[in-house]
């Protein structure tokens, strides 16, 4: 079995990153101190001060420097994500390859395995007590753990649920599901059928997406059946991505589109414009719905596959990691910076900044909105049913091939054929045998 982890992650820019990431002392920083004797720490984040989230990062760094004056001093670089060479991901990847990573940087949760495997980030277990970690949503720990070691922690989380139009539900005589008792796919299908009219789909599910949205929305239905799209070691897709559970889910997606209960090419804001009675979407939706005050909406949990399946919901977002290029003598300070950036106060602040659920249980109690419906549904899911996406060095390829399979099915390809093709392409791109 062969793995070309670095090229999968960075499309070639990590070809020499193992030396830069963890083994090459010539690439590591040495500890620097300020005039007042404080250890200098550097941190990169993926949001600029043009966003409220970016403003929060700047505020937190200011508070960190004030709290640890004379001990640590952090310098923040805020780099926008973009498609050009100046984008955040490009800058991180170049720094991994050529040296120059900061001591701490933000990492998308789905890339933890790739960065850890490349030595670009280091385990942080030793710097946190079990009591501290127990306050984080269980899926945050799952997302940040690779080969039994914890590499990242986040301040925010995310979730996916079924938003519904209360007025349409009442008119159709439909009782919504509750957090503790989610619908099965059959129940969701029946409701969508009843709600579908000539000018309104029963549900919109972003079926035209060709990116991470696809796996984020539909992987929980595969996990609900006790399966995944990759093996437990994160390397094999044969029997998983084209297994019975995945076939079941894509068959359901196809039937929903074929029957007209969901659009394969949904209009933008179709739920908000009352062109769909339900919307399968994420924790960012309430901020969008605030622009449509005439929509009387509620929130139901993610459906489970059938009555014998377990409830599973999506989760995961951006995290903080200590760089593999961080000097040994600075790592305790870097971990302290991660601790500060993921504190209860920071996690609660994330909701005010970007409407995303917090990563910590203690932060939920500080946000009144999560103590009542509708957002209590997301708190329940993140506490009880959230399951992270696969922590796999080949995750990006698996996610892309799954999304491609869904599109192929929606344009007429047989479900099993589409998934078999996805596995074949995954094997080709990862050189996995």
Half-sphere exposure of 224 (CA within 13 A, CB side): 25
Distance CA(277)–CA(204), nearest Å, equals: 8
pLDDT tens figures, 235-255: 999 999 999 999 999 999 999
pLDDT at 16 over 60: no
Residue spans per domain, the chain: 5-157+316-384, 160-313+394-430
pLDDT at 86 over 90: no
Distance CA(260)–CA(279), nearest Å, equals: 15
Q: Which residues contact 221 (CB under 8 A, 6 or more apart)?
A: 185, 248, 249, 252, 303, 304, 305, 312
105 forms bridges with which residues in the sheet? 44, 321
- 5-157+316-384 against 160-313+394-430: fold identical: yes
Q: What pLDDT is recorded for position 432? A: 53
Q: How many residues comprise the chain?
A: 433
**Where on the phi/psi map is residue 108: left (φ > 0), alpha (ψ -120 to 50), or beta?**
beta
Rg (CA), the chain: 22
Element (H, E) at 265: none
Higher pLDDT, 26 or 375: 375
pLDDT at 350 over 70: yes
Distance CA(299)–CA(313), nearest Å, equals: 14
CATH says 160-313+394-430 is which class? alpha beta
Distance CA(170)–CA(174), nearest Å, equals: 6
pLDDT category at 18 given cuts 50, 70, 90 is very low
Q: Do 386 and 183 touch, CB atoms closer than 8 A?
A: no
CATH 3.40.190.10 fits 5-157+316-384, yes or no: yes
In this structure, the strands spanning 39-45 and 72-78 are parallel
Half-sphere exposure of 331 (CA within 13 A, CB side): 20
Q: Do 2 and 299 touch, CB atoms closer than 8 A?
A: no
Which CA distances in Å does 427 have to 27, 114, 228, 405?
Answer: 33, 17, 16, 15
pLDDT category at 83 given cuts 50, 70, 90 is low
pLDDT at 14 over 60: no
Element (H, E) at 127: none
pLDDT at 12 over 50: no
pTM: 0.91
Q: Do 419 and 254 touch, CB atoms closer than 8 A?
A: no
Q: Do 161 and 179 touch, CB atoms closer than 8 A?
A: no
Sign of the four-CA dihedral 109, 111, 117, 118: negative
């Amino acid at each position: 079995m062969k793995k070309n982890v670095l090229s999968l992650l960075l499309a070639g820019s990590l070809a020499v990153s193992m030396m830069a990431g963890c083994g090459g002392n010539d690439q590591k920083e040495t500890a620097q101190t300020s005039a007042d004797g404080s250890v200098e720490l550097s941190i990169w984040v993926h949001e600029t001060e043009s966003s409220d989230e970016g403003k929060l990062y700047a505020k937190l760094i200011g508070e960190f420097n004030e709290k640890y004056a004379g001990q640590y001093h952090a310098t923040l670089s805020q780099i926008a994500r973009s498609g050009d060479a100046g984008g955040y991901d490009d800058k991180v990847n170049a720094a991994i390859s050529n040296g120059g990573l900061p001591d701490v940087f933000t990492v998308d949760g789905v890339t933890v395995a790739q960065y850890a495997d490349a030595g670009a980030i280091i385990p942080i277990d030793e710097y946190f007590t079990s009591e501290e970690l127990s306050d984080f949503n269980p899926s945050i720990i799952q997302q940040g753990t690779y080969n039994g070691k914890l590499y990242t922690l986040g301040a925010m989380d995310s979730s996916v649920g079924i938003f519904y139009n209360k007025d349409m539900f009442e008119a159709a005589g439909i009782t919504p599901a509750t957090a503790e008792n989610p619908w099965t796919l059959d129940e969701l299908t029946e409701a969508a059928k009843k709600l579908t009219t000539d000018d309104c789909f029963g549900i919109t599910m972003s079926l035209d997406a060709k990116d991470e949205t696809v796996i984020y929305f539909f992987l929980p239905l595969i996990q609900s059946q006790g399966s995944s799209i990759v093996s437990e070691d994160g390397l094999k897709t044969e029997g998983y991505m084209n297994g019975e559970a995945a076939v079941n889910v894509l068959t359901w997606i196809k039937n929903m589109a074929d029957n007209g209960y969901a659009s394969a090419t949904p209009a933008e804001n179709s739920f908000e414009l009352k062109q769909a009675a339900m919307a399968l979407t994420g924790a960012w939706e309430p901020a969008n719905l605030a622009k449509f005050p005439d929509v009387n909406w509620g929130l139901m949990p993610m459906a489970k596959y059938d009555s014998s399946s377990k409830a599973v919901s999506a989760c995961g977002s951006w995290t903080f990691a200590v760089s593999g290029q961080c000097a040994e003598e600075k790592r305790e300070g870097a971990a302290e910076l991660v601790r500060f950036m993921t504190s209860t106060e920071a996690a609660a602040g994330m909701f005010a900044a970007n409407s995303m659920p917090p990563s910590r249980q203690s932060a939920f109690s500080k946000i009144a909105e999560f103590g009542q419906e509708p957002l209590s549904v997301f708190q329940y899911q993140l506490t009880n049913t959230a399951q992270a996406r696969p922590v796999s060095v080949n995750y990006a390829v698996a996610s892309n091939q799954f999304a491609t399979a869904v599109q192929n099915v929606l344009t007429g390809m047989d479900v099993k054929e589409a998934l078999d093709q996805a596995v074949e392409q995954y094997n080709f791109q990862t050189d996995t045998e």
